[in-house]
A and B are shown apart, each in its own frame.
Chain A
């Protein structure tokens, strides 16, 4: 339970002296259910781990996946309710936890994404001999934090939720025992992330000093009214807070940790970071900018616009320069592409600074993030499947996948085209159109142009990969495969031009099929996702 939440509880407790309201009843547990269920299951798994024999450890994974599914289902009764809890009982009556449409959309993304990650991890945990109890506990805790984050409406809860989401992630990255790459990645991730958190906390404390409040709405009112002598302090606070969140979203120039971390981490964890980690960062950024600092829109608007342009350009150019025959180039490309996609996600937030109804403008980010979550997890799913057969997981290893396994090739091709925004990946196209629309509406013509150029650059590497999938295996291998490479190419790696060994397991099949069906469904009916861009979320 978070400090301000406790404070709110305490104040409610005082109230019980006068009214007969019970302390326990005053907490709306139904509204809290999505993050709470995840947290409870996390603890349950940790305890269960102590009592389970080794051969039953796989049960933990199914319990976790089930718990995440239940947590996700707990969203359903909240739809359209706009519940709040942990509210101040006097004064502004600001609430610390709000389950509005924005919260629910992000929670759906986070818990749904975590569920898919759990499916993806079932195989990996077993095969890579990751410590099951720890892995599932960390995954669930992180998901609980990420689910709490969009609901938080005060800076303290926000920071705590963000840390709950990211601290377990460091451990997850380093969980591969005895792998130098893995622990190095974890350390890199940890150090840079902690620096960012420190910076953010400094910023938050400055903002608190300037406005005297933690609640986002109160901060929003307090900032313009702040003592003019505190102006510099407030501005510094705003800037530092934003820098902290920019790191969490892996926006350039705070993106350098991404590729190494993704490659070093177990593959499902990389998928988790690219989707849920990012979603958490973005929801925090949206809350801080749109809800807390609207009076500084003139500052953060252009700053985020520049950041968006920089992020997508850096990500795309780096992805373009990836050599397809380098070890782990598939994950590396997905890592850089996730940096680039973060750039697109930033565009509507920057546009919100110029919009009449910022709550509506950021809807494009939510819609895009939902699309991105589905297709990126799907792409990671296929990468996990191929990675089981060919440890090196190079893009060149995907050559002729269509012959070895048409289902995997078609699915990956579809996901990549969705990421690229090309038909038949209709949802990717329209999500990009929505983002583009937001930029044009805000009068950010230059950003729209930068985005268009970037989309074209991105086409090249997504298409190259897609084309490799459908190249016939027989004609393969002219100078593109690195011969030998004994360290990386494991026992399953083909020596020459053989077909890609594709080994599906039940959970992996379910993962790819689930994300594929979802992506197809929203391609047929894009309104399912795009309606978030059409309504006011707050």
Chain B
């Protein structure tokens, strides 16, 4: 039931602007009547309300979306902003961006909800909520704008909030989660440098991207994405297209991230608070791949054609590299803090995003559809995984695999069956089990590589496909290792090294530092590590966790069983973005 056009415009603008207004409002004192129990609670509730309203608006947008015409730009509004440069405030959505808008709104809402009950330790929640909302505004704007300059602004807008989320509310590596910020003088172990690395990498990448956007826009004479896509690169010389594609591609590849530009990701994920990791993996990485599909492929087709084989090669290396890194992290006795579950999932992200990039690099409808599907699927599944691992860290005080699993395994099935089941579900979804969301995207990406667009070397892409397929096997291998080590095991296995933490009941929410001290290397084969000890009386899934995670589980199953719902949206839009190919 398509809505009136004005309503749609208003909805889309609301989706972008409401978070920003909410961020400003979060910094103001709460009005009487909304004060709640205490200021902290009031502002966290404010975050839930605003993100909830945005989610409602996004869902209404999806409902009002004319599903008969997903290729057409809908809810479009355009106002001149800087005539001197020809920049317009141009918003709109189509089948490519709509799912991402809904996903972003959903994940941010779930994060706000989760934080309401489990606020990450750090400075005032007021700033936390404001930053979260600015982050939401930036990500949603990235998917909603149709002007290159605005795209860049939105792309940059997420950096600052994410930097502070990591640097201020992050988990100092080695020290226990929940150590009050500033209490430990030497806490600067992980999150400061990680946040700095994150911002430097993505910033440099996006500056390069800006140059590419400028080259493209100045050569084509317009910054309007719709017109650029319609022109399909006509009016932009071949050299300019290649330069633009290289610069834009590098910028987006840093964000995506593509091997070998990924090295900021594991650090950032390891240091980020749970909600930061969820949003980083679930939403921020998508901005990179979305940029490929929305800007690079249609606006600089010759440039894309030139670099597609390289992109595919890097993507495949990323798949293999990510999986091998995960395997190394998952095995017993991986050195020190490196055997961290969060880090492992971060590396698995590199692999999964490799599939997305491979799909894009095929330049076919099949491949790009697969990429977009995998995008959404990765957002759902990895978001869930990070939620779970974050909760595990809250309970056990560590995500170090060795200290968690001890000799036989962490035995979550025995100690917290629902939690263990969810973790196993997410892991299995992540490895691409048919029937769950992770399957279709990777399958379509590989299918696309089987028969790439004309002009691309088929033998090369066949090789890429073969490597990609090997990558799926490796993914299955490490995910199953993780499941075995974390979920299975002997719940009655005794803790040989008794220490006080184990004796206390349900240490999950306490903010005590880890008894082993920062960075305590958990030596391989040590039978009882502290994390495991604290798991002894681990609480199962709590109600709020259930509320935050259920939507992701349901959508993962739904997308796996009924992929047509999503592909029906993206396929016509992809066809109009890539009119040159028939597959």
Q: List residues of chain A with CB under 8 Å of any chain B CB.
A: 367, 422-424, 426, 429-430, 433-434, 436-437, 440-441, 452, 455-456, 459, 463, 467, 470, 472, 474-475, 478, 526-527, 530-531, 533-534
Contacts and interface: CB of A to CB of B under 8 A. Distances in A.
B153 A456 contact: no
B209 to A, nearest CB: 12
Interface string B145-162: 000010011001100100
A526 B82 contact: yes
Identify the 4 closest CB pairs spanning chains A and B, nearest first. A474-B182, A534-B84, A530-B84, A423-B156
Interface in B187-233: 187-188, 196, 199-200, 203-204, 207, 211, 214-215, 218
Contact of A452 (B196, B211, B218): B211
Contacts of B123: 472
Contacts of B83: 527, 531, 534
A530 B188 contact: no
A475 B218 CA distance: 46
21 contacts: A367-B84, A422-B203, A424-B157, A426-B153, A433-B149, A440-B214, A440-B215, A452-B207, A459-B203, A463-B199, A470-B164, A472-B181, A472-B182, A475-B188, A526-B81, A526-B82, A527-B83, A530-B82, A530-B85, A534-B83, A534-B84
B84 A434 contact: yes
Given A436-B214, A470-B164, A430 B203 contact: no
A531 B156 CA distance: 25
Contacts of A478: 185, 188
B207 to A, nearest CB: 5
Contact of A459 (B82, B87, B196, B207): B207
Interface of B: 81-85, 87, 123, 149, 152-153, 156-157, 160, 164, 167-168, 181-182, 185, 187-188, 196, 199-200, 203-204, 207, 211, 214-215, 218
A297 B379 CA distance: 56
A286 to B, nearest CB: 18
Contacts of B185: 475, 478
Contacts of B85: 430, 433-434, 437, 530
A320 B90 CA distance: 38
B163 to A, nearest CB: 8
Contacts of A434: 84-85
Nearest to A422: B156
A455 B207 contact: yes
Nearest to B211: A452
A317 to B, nearest CB: 17
B16 to A, nearest CB: 15
Contacts of A526: 81-82, 84
Contacts of B168: 472
B84 A423 contact: no
Given A433-B85, A459-B207, A423 B214 contact: no
B82 A423 contact: no
A81 B199 CA distance: 49
Contacts of B167: 470
Contacts of B160: 424
Given A422-B156, A426-B153, A475-B188, A440 B218 contact: yes
Contacts of B82: 430, 526-527, 530
Given A527-B82, A534-B83, A423 B153 contact: yes
A417 B82 CA distance: 20
A530 B149 CA distance: 15
A527 B84 contact: yes
A89 to B, nearest CB: 39
A459 B202 CA distance: 12
Contact of B187 (A426, A429, A475): A475
Given A452-B211, A475-B182, A527-B84, A437 B156 contact: no
A467 B196 contact: yes
Given A423-B152, A440-B218, 13 more contacts: A367-B84, A422-B156, A424-B160, A430-B85, A440-B214, A463-B200, A474-B182, A478-B185, A526-B82, A526-B84, A527-B83, A530-B85, A534-B84
Given A434-B84, A527-B82, A527-B84, A423 B157 contact: yes
Contacts of B84: 367, 434, 526-527, 530-531, 533-534
A372 B399 CA distance: 48
B272 to A, nearest CB: 17
Contacts of B156: 422-423
Contacts of B207: 452, 455-456, 459
A460 to B, nearest CB: 8
Most A CB contacts (10 A, CB to CB) among B84, B160, B203, B207 go to B84
Contacts of B211: 452
Nearest to A464: B196
Contacts of B204: 456, 459
A128 to B, nearest CB: 36
A361 to B, nearest CB: 13
A456 B250 CA distance: 15
A497 to B, nearest CB: 10
A433 B84 CA distance: 11
B149 to A, nearest CB: 8
A436 B160 CA distance: 25
Nearest to B80: A527
A526 B182 CA distance: 40
Nearest to B213: A433
B203 A433 contact: no
B196 to A, nearest CB: 7
A526 B84 CA distance: 9
Contacts of A474: 181-182
B182 to A, nearest CB: 4
Contacts of B214: 433, 436-437, 440
A423 B156 CA distance: 6
Most B CB contacts (10 A, CB to CB) among A424, A437, A452, A475 go to A475
A440 B244 CA distance: 14
Contacts of A459: 203-204, 207
Contacts of B87: 430
Contacts of A426: 153
B518 to A, nearest CB: 14
Nearest to B204: A456
Nearest to A472: B182
Contacts of A424: 157, 160
Contacts of A470: 164, 167
Contacts of B153: 423, 426, 429
Contacts of B203: 422, 459, 463
Nearest to A460: B200
A527 B81 contact: yes
A395 B265 CA distance: 30
A456 B200 CA distance: 10
A443 to B, nearest CB: 12
A144 B490 CA distance: 86
Nearest to B203: A459
Contacts of B215: 440
Nearest to A451: B211
A409 B490 CA distance: 54
Contacts of A530: 82, 84-85
A463 B195 CA distance: 13
Contacts of A463: 199-200, 203
A456 B85 CA distance: 22
A399 to B, nearest CB: 13
Nearest to A529: B84
B421 to A, nearest CB: 40
Contacts of B164: 470
A527 B203 CA distance: 25
Contacts of A533: 84
